[in-house]
A and B are shown apart, each in its own frame.
Chain A
């Protein structure tokens, strides 16, 4: 499925949109990290929580945990929160 990447993480992907596979958000992020090593830890902490200034949306619905199931064709958007003025 297609995953939208915010500008702070494009040093890893080199692109605004990339492909990744998985049946859950956690699996998609793991696949992203295999393709672009290091990207996951910048947005997900060691307790598997989404970092405070990173937001993940599935089909434009914001999610709070990584165990959300995904369907083929779902749209995954990773956004950097507006914070800091």
Chain B
């Protein structure tokens, strides 16, 4: 099935349509030129509906949807928004950052993570959204999230929404900063899930929350396996044990295990890819030494292989953000990532070699790979 890359950028949405060999790509776009497009996601349940999380520098946030793979678009009639607070200063959604479809049997259900770090849910394919009160109004929300004040340069965010495919009431989210949180009762109650994870910026050696997950992914075929690229390293968890294991300690010391994204093999829960960045000194957040590389593990993080064939060998000072790495379901799998300098790179051999599949796009926020209906 020819893949479709969904690319959210600082200046709009681009779609890259591949051929069956994943060898040639055609660019469609920009859609919503000038919009900050944080995330573009295909509904895997109908394989033709798209949602886009968007805003502009001057206008408020919204969600756009398409039921025909981007040929036409409509705007959500009720975008994610907090309840109006009478007589006080209520919270305001600055932007929608993360979009996540519900489980396979929950047709029409979507989740959205925002800045400040709040959770919203739609039951009609993204047309109308309601606050998830169990998270947004949780008595610990302000404490866990520092009221949304302590976050990334673009604002504290809720991201990495993962729904357990075995149990739709079991949901994980990542909050930057705040940590990983878990609900087992349909988002009504929540608990931190950060044991074993470092928070080097916190004077408390083992805080219960306050961590900075950059990207958390649950393996779809082994849902007890979670991977996390954190501000402080690469982690893996076997959920019944409930403790994050720092598998990034096995990365080369001169590269380190700081980064934003983590991509999972669709069939092998022991295989994953990361894109390290420079987290030393003042945190340049660029490829270490200007030499970008993807690192792959095939043994659950016990060892890592460097893969940079085809990538620039020097003077490439870009970054791959947390939503900007995606893995397809091919055999061998294809991997794609987008850079902050507007390039999209692809690999058809599980990351061993790379080639540019698009250049000169705006600053890339997100890359998703989809298999649309024919």
Contacts and interface: CB of A to CB of B under 8 A. Distances in A.
A binds B: yes
Interface of A: 8-9, 37-38, 41-49, 51, 53-54, 80-81, 83-84
B57 A42 contact: no
A42 B85 contact: no
Interface in B72-128: 75-77, 79, 81-85, 89-93
Given A38-B75, A38-B77, A46 B90 contact: yes
> At the interface, is chain A mostly helix, strand, loop or mixed?
loop
A84 B92 CA distance: 21
A80 to B, nearest CB: 5
Given A46-B81, A48-B84, A9 B59 contact: yes
> At the interface, is chain B mostly helix, strand, loop or mixed?
loop
Interface string B47-59: 0000000001111
Given A37-B75, A46-B84, A51 B59 contact: yes
B60 interface: yes
Interface residues on B, range: 20 to 34
Contacts of B156: none
A46 B62 CA distance: 12
A13 to B, nearest CB: 14
B58 A41 contact: no
Could you say which of B60, B75, B81, B85 has the most chain A C-beta atoms within 10 Å of its C-beta? B60
Contact of B62 (A38, A47, A53, A81): A38
A8 B81 CA distance: 21
A8 B56 contact: yes
A41 B89 contact: no
Contacts of B83: 46
B60 A47 contact: no
